[in-house]
Amino acid sequence: MAGRLLSIGECMVELSQAGEGLLRKGFAGDTLNTAWYARACFPSDWSIDYFTAVGDDPMSSEMLAMMDGAGIGTSQILRIAGKTPGLYLITLKDGERTFSYWRDTAAAKKLADDADHLRAAIDSAQIIYFSGITLGILAPEAVDTLLAEARRAKASGKTVVFDPNIRPRLWPNKNYMLKTIEDGARASTLVLPSFDDEAVHFGDKDVAATIARYKALGVENVVVKDGPGGVTLAFGSAPVVHVPSVKVDKVVDTTSAGDSFNGGFLASLAKGCTPAEAAAYGAAVASTVICHHGALISPDLLPK
Ligand code: ADP
């Protein structure tokens, strides 16, 4: 069945070192990364659309051109006069990556300010995807708008997918962060947390605790990613299933491991695979992505 996935969030300009005094420009962001891998893995009769707000500057235009070039729909993206995208810089020191951000005035913070526009975009899709980073960049009123629309989508029978992607530096305080992540989960039909984050911020002692916590919030389907430890699926009332990760000889760059897993996993589900089959495919996609540099690798490199 053909359909549309709408991924909602922030895409930033990425600057990374490219030799003495030189910076390389790219575009990335968790929800855009997932849209990229969804586009690569979903059947071609599905549309994969991105929803955000950008400015009317040349960098925003380049960002949209990059998405268009990748086959990601941009027609619902808001353009706000006088605004610019957020930006981050990756610096390498002794092999360790440090990230510096300039995103406080990013256009994407306004993505939910026009509730009618957001609703129309959500109405046009069967699968809605957003993350804790999407919520973390928004003002509290905008969080309320987005979550109200997500709940409305869920109530109307759409698949609403949430990756908590917990990033404390985006949030004013821990209580509000955890409460809002829980609200995001409650508004969703499928939650895709990473155990590392959940253990640090919610204090979960094991994967079973993460599953139990989200199930207790009323989330129907929970898939916990645990790096090389594989994924654990709790779908509806079916027995919990563990799917191992794909062994990798040498991890090159784990950026986008979880985002690419999500894209491959959702694509397989849309093709009618079982959750366990979909998780095995998501793990194969992620294991390929972490063998290459950068968040976005060529679709040609991905497993079929
Ligand atoms: P995130 O990037 O969100 O922190 P994880 O680290 O849990 O997410 O990784 C997501 C998925 O990527 C895992 O479920 C697994 O399939 C794959 N993965 C991550 N690290 C490894 C690894 N070292 N070896 C093999 N697969 C991995």
129, 204, 225: residue to mutate for ligand 1 pocket, most atoms within 8 A of CB: 225
| CB of 265 sitting under 6 A from ligand 1 | no
| CB of 261 sitting under 6 A from ligand 1 | yes
Q: Are 14 and 88 within 8 A, CB to CB?
A: yes
CA distance 53 to 3: 23
Q: Whose CA is nearest to atom 18 of ligand 1?
A: 227
Q: Are 4 and 50 within 8 A, CB to CB?
A: no
| CB of 294 sitting under 6 A from ligand 1 | no
Measured from the Cα of 282, ligand 1's closest atom is: 16
* pLDDT at residue 244, as a whole number: 98
CA distance 49 to 36: 10
Tokens of 56: 């009317």
Give domain 4-301's CATH architecture.
3-Layer(aba) Sandwich (3.40)
Asked if the interface predicted TM-score (ipTM) of this complex is over 0.95, the answer is yes
Q: Are 51 and 8 within 8 A, CB to CB?
A: yes
User: Which sequence spans correspond to the domains of the chain?
Assistant: 4-301
| CB of 283 sitting under 6 A from ligand 1 | yes
Q: Which residues contact 68 (CB under 8 A, 6 or more apart)?
A: 74
Q: Whose CA is nearest to atom 23 of ligand 1?
A: 228
| CB of 71 sitting under 6 A from ligand 1 | no
* pLDDT at residue 1, as a whole number: 61
Tokens of 196: 């590392």
Report, as residue numbers or ranges, the catalytic residues.
259
* Per-residue confidence in pLDDT tens, the chain, 304 aa: 699 999 999 999 999 988 889 999 999 999 999 999 999 999 999 999 999 999 999 999 999 999 999 999 999 999 999 999 999 998 877 777 889 999 999 999 999 999 999 999 999 999 999 999 999 999 999 999 999 999 999 999 999 999 999 999 999 999 999 999 999 999 999 999 999 999 999 999 999 999 999 999 999 999 999 999 999 999 999 999 999 999 999 999 898 999 999 999 999 999 999 999 999 999 999 999 999 988 999 999 999 8
Cα-to-centroid distance, 159 and ligand 1 (Å): 23
* pLDDT at residue 96, as a whole number: 78
Burial category of 103 from C-beta neighbours within 10 Å (exposed 0-12, middle 13-18, buried 19 and up): middle
